[in-house]
Structure 1
């Protein structure tokens, strides 16, 4: 009993009293051009699976609804989509809350076409995608909708992150930045202790099924090693709400509102966010 109390007290101390306030601009394998696509795809597929199963972005739904309603839109353009983690649940929950179909367009500088086709088919077309590369710092004018970035904003160093915000504000587009974490030492500890087991347990259930994913998980475990490294670096690179708000305050535009913070509670439910929208709507 004493051991349990000690462990519970330690985890509470790590999660509530010890936020991970440092930010280090280290590298992630999935950002590297030479990194094999089969490994990047396997890592992103795991991330999509876990985000979807945990409903990790549940706390972001009211914020997204606010952006859609403020701008009188029913369409989201997701930037830096990766493998589209959690987007199916987000689309369904938003549609239910708003009483109409909210459509989502996926995009990325390195489009994961296999995952996007799977999501398009399983959503009945409510989720579609742009097959060509899309640069989040310079989104083509023809691409409309409320912009979102899930679990990817930390990949960008400050000058590029600010460029993403400037591009959205300059084109009078609403944007929502969401990171699925609270950025704490506890999350870092759980990543190291639990994720190796989780990866081995859930990999056979990830869809679409790929033999390459099994090979690079169980025979040559490059996908698990990549997930652990990139997950650790992601937490270290993640911006705090205060850093996001300072960055947004440097964006040059008029009549545009920014708001940042933390939302959600419970394991896997924490979200750091920054939302922005033009005030003329």
Structure 2
């Protein structure tokens, strides 16, 4: 699938109910963690942290935190040193972030205020990451996210937990709805609204299927990412772009850049 179609994602819309958006993000966080989607990129991220002498990550466009708790655990395990992460988003999911902070014993903190990934506040210093969210941005905005990291001389890693293959659409359509119905009672922190919008008024499963479909169609290919990097004024940066193999057979798309 070489082309990119920028269709409408529900969670991007300001009018979309916040409770439903939060529920959808919680589902994705649970699935990403349960499947260990981002485990294959941990060695790549750890190498980039070492190259930049960083132990602090600023996670942009965090949603409900995705697999960030598992990534933090793996980074600490593989590095043998403390790693601190600050999660940020345009629509902060504070309840989910408080849960992550408690689970990590304070190693994962969060910004309560809105954070624009194209103009990150200078006070947020650290290696930047974008998990499962780069496809939300049109090319010119995606370029600005990379350019802002370069402008502030910060490392950045962009990761998408799919490989933009047609069979992934079949999984979203045929498997995801049933999986969501099965896992929802086990998602923490528990909320009654998540049960309501899953079983009585199924906006969460419908939203996940719609946005999951659009996400795959919106996703950038390695060729797209190479073209973006070539447009950056960053001769002093080292860039790595590719796909990391996941145990399920799919690939995790990644772009990593840092000052040489």
- Normalised by the length of structure 1, the TM-score is 0.91
Q: Distance in 2 between matches of 1:215 and 1:33?
A: 21
Instruction: Give 2:243's match in structure 1, choosing from 262, 271, 274.
Output: 262
1:200-239 to 2 correspondences below 5 Å: 200-239=181-220
Question: Per-residue CA shift, 1:8-47, capped at 9, x if unaligned?
Answer: xxxxxxxxxxxx2221011100000011100000000000
1:57 aligns with 2:38: yes
Match of 1:165 among 146, 150, 162: 146
1:36 aligns with 2:20: no
* Partner Cα separation in structure 2 for residue 273 and residue 96 of structure 1: 21
Aligned length: 260
Q: Which residue of 2 aligns with 1:198?
A: 179
Runs of 4+ in 1 over 4 A off after TM superposition: none
Which consecutive unaligned segments of at least 5 residues does structure 2 have? none
> Paired residue for 1:120?
101
The equivalent of 2:232 in structure 1 is 251
Q: SS where residue 261 of structure 1 aligns?
A: strand
Residues in 2 aligned to 1:109 and 1:63: alpha-carbon distance in whole angstroms: 27
Per-residue deviation, residues 115-141 of structure 1 (Å, max 9, x unmatched): 000000111001001111100000011
Please give the alpha-carbon distance, in whole angstroms, between the structure 2 residues aligned to 1:270 and 1:204. Answer: 29
CA contact (8 A) 1:120 1:126 kept: yes
- 1:268 to partner: Cα distance: 7.2
> Where does 1:2-151 land on structure 2 (aligned, <5 Å)?
20-151=1-132
**Max Rg structure:** 1
CA contact (8 A) 2:37 2:246 kept: no
Unaligned runs of 5+ in 1: 1-19
Spell out, residue by residue over 1:119-174, the C-alpha distance to the aligned partner (whole angstroms, 9 max, x if none).
00111001001111100000011111100000000000000000000000111100
1:269 deviates by: 5.6
- 1:266 is displaced (CA, Å) by 2.8
Task: From the superposition, tell whether residues 269 and 114 of structure 1 become closer, same or farther in structure 2 (CA, over 3 Å).
Answer: farther
How many Å separate the matches in 2 of 1:277 and 1:234?
Answer: 26
- Tell me, yes or no, if the aligned pair for 1:54 and 1:268 is still in contact at 8 Å: no
- Give the match's secondary structure for 1:111: coil
3-state SS in 1 of match to 2:62: coil
Secondary structure of the 1:56 match is coil
In the alignment, the residues of structure 2 paired with residue 228 and residue 202 of structure 1 have an alpha-carbon distance, to the nearest angstrom, of 15
**Alignment partner of 2:257: what SS?**
strand
CA contact (8 A) 1:56 1:268 kept: no
